[in-house]
Structure 1
Amino acid sequence: MGQKKIVIIGAGVVGCSTAYYLNKMGQRNITVIEQGPLFETGGSTSHAPGLVFQLGFSKVLTTLASQTVEAFKELSHEGQPSFYSVGSLEVANTQERLDDLKRKAGVAKSWGMETFVLSPEECAQKNPLLNSDNIYGGLYVPSDGIAKPLRAVDQMAHFSKSCGTKFYGHTEVTDIEVVDDQVKSVETSAGRFEADLIICCAGFWGPRIGEMVGVTIPLQPIAHQYVFSNDLQELGAETEEVSMPIIRHQDSAMYYRQVFNGIGIGSYQHRALPVEVSEITKYGEAKEMPSVKPFTPEDFEKPWEDAQELIPALKQAGVKRGINGIFSFTPDGMPLLGESQKVRGFWAAEAIWVTHSAGVGKEMAEWIVNGAPTLDLELCDINRFDTYAQSPAYYKKRSIENYEKVYDIHHPFMQPESSRDMRVSPYYMRQQSLGAYFNEKSGWEQPQWFEANDSLVATYEKNILERKGWAAQYWSPIIEAEHLHTRQYAGLYDVTAVKKRLEISGEGALEFLQHLTTSTIDIPIGQVTSTLMLHELAGIKDEIKVIRTAASTFFVLCTGAVEASWIKKQVPVSSRVVIQDLTNGMCGLSVIGGKASEIMNSLDSQAFVKSEWEIGQAKEGFIGNVPVLAVYDSYGGTERWELFTTSDQGLKLWDVLFEAGRPYQIIAAGDRALESLRIESLSLRNGKDFWSEHNPYEVGLDHLVDLNKPTFIGKQALLDRKANGPNLLLTPLLLDDPSMVVMGYEPVFDEDKVAGFVTSAGYAYNFGKGIVYALLSPETVHKSSQLSIEYFGKRYTATRMTQSAVRAHQ
């Protein structure tokens, strides 16, 4: 990207970090506008207690936190550190929590972070203030510590100013000018600032800025209690602000840090205290600062009892003062980053804690300058929320629920409770009558399994692997029965929620898709092809399916809202290409299994005689009186007919197919069986087995790349990455113990060295063993066939599948 006029709204740690890294990458025409003073602005940065726990089950958040720690370490000035590396302790009050910390220690190895699981006595040695009598143990992370964001901001702003960046304090944004869906300027109390690009880093004021351009920023400000104790006798000799490890006690939803001779105590234990943006005062109008609400002592009564139990020295010290500090929560607990699909040039960097701040600034700068960040930020993309999730009725309730559960033990299949039934397919009433167990997927109520199939468990019980412990939570043996029954007979699957459905048409549609994808799209009408989309750095944006329905009309199936928004952003402003999102008005069903073609042949329609179809073919026709777009291909190593129709015809389609399938023992089957079939057959899934950090040669998708094409997005970068060789290789493994399964993201060891981590994990019934895909170092793939996977602190041996075995299996 060349030089642009960039305006950043907000001079907190996120805004200053973004300006800092943009300057480091050579951008020079930058203006930072702040409604409060510079640089203790009155936002969340100003009151943040600074505890940095880097490690989480999210790889992207862990990486952003690690980047922040490294940045803050480099931003010390004149003996004043911006980060104190004192380490952290997470302590467990229950065996369940200790087991979860062991799982977390495994994920730490996957993400490349050093951790130690400690006994109660070892925890007390790390922090002598702890009462170890009632704890089962803890997790120690040496690289965690305390951030001093205002010191870091001062250094970042100093550098940015030296590069010509202008900072304006006490300057309120009053409006943003948008012309032809492109930002043009920012109107403020100090005048007008022209802008090619605006970055909203306004924190919990972000929704107000978004309203100025018609963009929803779905975050909920919530007040959170933080208390300062009086001095502790045990810390009387301390001269440093912090020298002891910070503590997180998630079983009581609390955290602790030393503050010179006292203790700072944060609590999530209290009721949620949501704050409306309209109720937040401006700087100078509040008693302390806009981000601080009056302390509510009644909410701290039980937390104070728990605090004294964990740190007995607090009994003599007592409470000095407390605040209810405001910060932001989102519907899924992730930040809101990237350029809005709705308004070109309007970028957001919102709902970010100090923990991730500098990392976000770095990645945002790379995204803006290079066209893509180094780190995959799909889970943080502001465009991930469809219109259903932009309603305050949805995102406020879901954000509050995330606050209330922030320190719970989170299972991968644990589902949200609030804001449900937002989207239902036409088959919903049939699924309910069959006893569907629903999860949410892209806002849709998606059946996971059906209680109506409980009788099948007895039929297949000799083959079913009974899961135990962690793997058995949010699981049913019915999933396995549906999987096995589909293989032998057939399953009817609701695939409405599985993909976004786009129609791309108009003059230049073919040329547009040719530029967008890695393989040829100039296919005959009625043909289907799978292809990849790469971003500018040759990372995989998505694997998509393209169906040519007319000379200049294509039906495209992509993973979700982020991928769909990215496709739309690639359309030039002057183009005549039209993209219609058909997702809401269409529904999908798949008939999968050994009897799938027999069922389709039995329909009263000549259109579905198998002999007249080839794999990878699509036709428009009728099933009964229901118009469908039908695709014939394979899934999970067996035949599949995928059928799309309009939502008003969906229920009729379900009934016709179900009735036609009765003689062939068809069942309604859930999403978990569909996923199990995918994993067993070693089929890949975007966002699970690969993401935009990976290129096709690393994950075995190079057969979808045609380097003879004159050009496509990311081609030159792909050639460079191919020449440099892979960083990781996606590799299938079989667990040697036939009674074991794992869940995903566990570390893989080559002897005692971490070689990578698991992506997808399931059970291969045709092998009688657990099966996984793992991203491994190339040297391990080329050298070792015998590996091990760590699961809850224990090692289980695994064998790498040979290429010939993989081909035979697929």
Structure 2
Amino acid sequence: MVNDRVVTELPRHAEVVIIGGGIIGVCVAYRLAEAGTDVLLLDRDSLGGGSTAKAAGGIRSSFTSRVNLELGLRGLAEYGGFAARHGVEIDFRRDGYLYLITDPAELPEFERCVGLQNSYGVRSRLVDPAEARRVSPLIDVDGVVAALWSPDDAKATPDSAVQGYAKVARRHGAVLRTGVEVVGIDRDGDEITGVRTSAGLVRTSVVVCAAGAWSGRVGEFAGVDLPVRPYRRQVVFTGPVAGLGESVPLTIEMPSTFYFHREGTGLAMSFCEGDGDPGFDTRYQPGEWLPKLAEIAGRRVPAVLDAGIKSAWAGLYEMTPDHNQIVGRSVSLPGFFYATGFSGHGFQMGPAVGAVLRDLCLGREPEIDIGELDVRRFAGDQAGSREHNIV
């Protein structure tokens, strides 16, 4: 009983309260605590129990915009040295990313993307179908006109990274509490005065919203519009696949968005049929989706037809109107910061965003210019271009 009280009791004051214990929240907590800030992180579930728990774990530089590329490169660098730096193994592997291009009209955009990536030192390049098959022997390249191969992109285990960052955040003095739901944010004019929770009131003047798919509601508590909506995504896991190599790149067919990557002795596979209606339903519902997945997978990765489906799940993508994250500080409520709406990119961008939010909260200029990610871009018709290479 005493131990339970220790776990659930909340500090009555914190310099910064972070709402959300996924990869973004724990990265922000770590960076702020490392800088000497008094931090309290709250999550109504378990750490990483939301979207992070069901992330594919891809970490890439193969983005199509300057800001996403810089965030992705920071993630690759941080995760690549994670085990040595923090003493936590996250199964980091540089198996690469391979984009299969099936529409010739998309080639100019991929050529532009490669040029941008190469200007940052990324070793991505366009290859012909034969080389794509040498890189990923499982695939059938019928209908593939070219492919983008990014050999230094990687994969890691999201839950291990969350637990690792939580460990080092606590080591620096951060307080992380799970099973505590935020039910309101108190404010006096344009100043935050506290966060109301299921375990009592915490006085604070600074709140960071890192609540992923649930960020819209947190924004409502603060009177700040965060246009983040939850959309279901489903993934199936196959049984053992014949001919599965030791190194399997995360392979994506464009524009269908069908993708697969190695998962044990089999593959994890999915594709996006369209966003549909937003909602928090995470029940796996194969319906018409599974036969369509099977058709694409059988055509592109024929070996999976003999592997069968071992398991499946559904999770949530936190989507914004332009499929780019919103990161910044509220103009109307200066003590309210947000890092959300990553549209499937949160895991790989977590390390960089942790540093960005630390700097914003401490009044510093971030190393990465995230001006174009400000939520105000959605006022009128100012939303940016969609990220092209999105799954």
Structure 2 length normalisation: TM-score?
0.88
Q: 1:323 aligns with which of 290, 303, 313?
A: 313
8 A Cα contact 1:296 1:324, kept in partner:
no
Cα deviation, 1:454-511, whole Å, max 9, x if unaligned, reads xxxxxxxxxxxxxxxxxxxxxxxxxxxxxxxxxxxxxxxxxxxxxxxxxxxxxxxxxx
**Higher RCO (C-alpha 8 Å, min separation 6):** 2
Amino acid in the other structure paired with 1:204: A
SS of the equivalent of 2:179 reads coil
- Is 1:58 equivalent to 2:65 in the alignment? yes
Matches within 5 A, 1:62-101: 62-76=69-83, 80-101=89-110
- Is 1:195 equivalent to 2:229 in the alignment? no
| Deviation for aligned residue 1:370 | 3.9
Cα deviation, 1:18-53, whole Å, max 9, x if unaligned, reads 1112223x233100011002x242x10011111234
The structure-2 alpha-carbon separation of the partners of 1:82 and 1:340, relative to structure 1 and needing over 3 Å to count, comes to: farther
- Is 1:244 equivalent to 2:254 in the alignment? no
| Cα root mean square deviation, aligned | 2.5
| Deviation for aligned residue 1:355 | 2.5
8 A Cα contact 1:73 1:82, kept in partner:
no
Alignment-derived partner of residue 8 in structure 1: 18
Matches within 5 A, 1:301-380: 301-352=291-342, 353-380=346-373
How far apart, in 2, do the equivalents of 1:6 and 1:213 lie?
A: 15
Alignment-derived partner of residue 22 in structure 1: 32
| Deviation for aligned residue 1:99 | 4.2
Specify every segment of 5 or more residues in structure 1 that has no aligned partner in the other structure, as ranges: 281-289, 390-394, 409-810
8 A Cα contact 1:293 1:323, kept in partner:
yes
SS of the equivalent of 1:129 reads coil
How far apart, in 2, do the equivalents of 1:356 and 1:44 lie?
A: 14
Amino acid in the other structure paired with 1:17: C
SS of the equivalent of 1:252 reads coil
8 A Cα contact 1:98 1:138, kept in partner:
no
Matches within 5 A, 1:532-547: none
8 A Cα contact 1:82 1:152, kept in partner:
no
Q: 1:271 aligns with which of 270, 274, 283?
A: 274
| Deviation for aligned residue 1:350 | 0.9
8 A Cα contact 1:252 1:303, kept in partner:
no
Matches within 5 A, 1:759-778: none
Alignment-derived partner of residue 735 in structure 1: none
Alignment-derived partner of residue 49 in structure 1: 56
| Deviation for aligned residue 1:211 | 1.0
Cα deviation, 1:332-351, whole Å, max 9, x if unaligned, reads 22211111111120111111
SS of the equivalent of 2:82 reads coil
The structure-2 alpha-carbon separation of the partners of 1:147 and 1:177, relative to structure 1 and needing over 3 Å to count, comes to: same
| Deviation for aligned residue 1:139 | 1.3
How far apart, in 1, do the equivalents of 2:293 and 2:372 lie?
A: 33
How far apart, in 2, do the equivalents of 1:81 and 1:407 lie?
A: 24
Structure 1 length normalisation: TM-score?
0.44
Q: 1:180 aligns with which of 179, 189, 198?
A: 189
Alignment-derived partner of residue 10 in structure 2: none
8 A Cα contact 2:216 2:227, kept in partner:
yes
Amino acid in the other structure paired with 2:251: I
Amino acid in the other structure paired with 1:150: D
The structure-2 alpha-carbon separation of the partners of 1:104 and 1:40, relative to structure 1 and needing over 3 Å to count, comes to: closer
Cα deviation, 1:160-193, whole Å, max 9, x if unaligned, reads 1111111111001111110121011111111221
The structure-2 alpha-carbon separation of the partners of 1:406 and 1:104, relative to structure 1 and needing over 3 Å to count, comes to: closer
| Deviation for aligned residue 1:89 | 0.8
How far apart, in 2, do the equivalents of 1:407 and 1:368 lie?
A: 29
How far apart, in 2, do the equivalents of 1:95 and 1:271 lie?
A: 22
How far apart, in 2, do the equivalents of 1:214 and 1:194 lie?
A: 18
Amino acid in the other structure paired with 2:76: V
8 A Cα contact 1:93 1:134, kept in partner:
yes
Amino acid in the other structure paired with 1:51: G
Cα deviation, 1:410-464, whole Å, max 9, x if unaligned, reads xxxxxxxxxxxxxxxxxxxxxxxxxxxxxxxxxxxxxxxxxxxxxxxxxxxxxxx
Cα deviation, 1:186-221, whole Å, max 9, x if unaligned, reads 111112211121001011111111111211111121
SS of the equivalent of 2:147 reads strand
Amino acid in the other structure paired with 2:21: A
How far apart, in 2, do the equivalents of 1:374 and 1:69 lie?
A: 16
The structure-2 alpha-carbon separation of the partners of 1:27 and 1:196, relative to structure 1 and needing over 3 Å to count, comes to: farther
| Deviation for aligned residue 1:368 | 2.0
The structure-2 alpha-carbon separation of the partners of 1:372 and 1:108, relative to structure 1 and needing over 3 Å to count, comes to: same
Amino acid in the other structure paired with 2:68: L
Amino acid in the other structure paired with 2:80: K
Amino acid in the other structure paired with 2:164: Q
How far apart, in 2, do the equivalents of 1:295 and 1:361 lie?
A: 34
Q: 1:256 aligns with which of 240, 255, 260?
A: 260
8 A Cα contact 2:60 2:76, kept in partner:
no
Q: 2:286 aligns with which of 292, 296, 304?
A: 296
Alignment-derived partner of residue 222 in structure 2: 213
| Deviation for aligned residue 1:402 | 6.7
How far apart, in 1, do the equivalents of 2:18 and 2:91 lie?
A: 23
| Deviation for aligned residue 1:79 | 7.4
Cα deviation, 1:292-311, whole Å, max 9, x if unaligned, reads 33223312322321111111
Identity of aligned residues (%): 25
How far apart, in 1, do the equivalents of 2:104 and 2:155 lie?
A: 28
Matches within 5 A, 1:95-134: 95-134=104-143
The structure-2 alpha-carbon separation of the partners of 1:306 and 1:297, relative to structure 1 and needing over 3 Å to count, comes to: same
Amino acid in the other structure paired with 2:260: Y
The structure-2 alpha-carbon separation of the partners of 1:114 and 1:358, relative to structure 1 and needing over 3 Å to count, comes to: same
How far apart, in 1, do the equivalents of 2:221 and 2:365 lie?
A: 26
8 A Cα contact 1:9 1:15, kept in partner:
yes
Amino acid in the other structure paired with 1:249: E
How far apart, in 1, do the equivalents of 2:350 and 2:257 lie?
A: 23
Q: Looking at CA atoms only, which structure, 1 or 2, has the larger radius of gyration?
A: 1
The structure-2 alpha-carbon separation of the partners of 1:407 and 1:172, relative to structure 1 and needing over 3 Å to count, comes to: closer
SS of the equivalent of 2:193 reads strand
Amino acid in the other structure paired with 1:199: V
Cα deviation, 1:144-174, whole Å, max 9, x if unaligned, reads 1213222111121111111111111100111
8 A Cα contact 2:45 2:180, kept in partner:
yes
The structure-2 alpha-carbon separation of the partners of 1:323 and 1:365, relative to structure 1 and needing over 3 Å to count, comes to: same
SS of the equivalent of 2:269 reads strand
8 A Cα contact 1:185 1:194, kept in partner:
yes
8 A Cα contact 1:35 1:171, kept in partner:
yes
How far apart, in 2, do the equivalents of 1:384 and 1:252 lie?
A: 28
8 A Cα contact 2:249 2:261, kept in partner:
yes
| Deviation for aligned residue 1:233 | 2.1
- Is 1:167 equivalent to 2:176 in the alignment? yes
8 A Cα contact 1:75 1:81, kept in partner:
yes
Amino acid in the other structure paired with 1:18: V
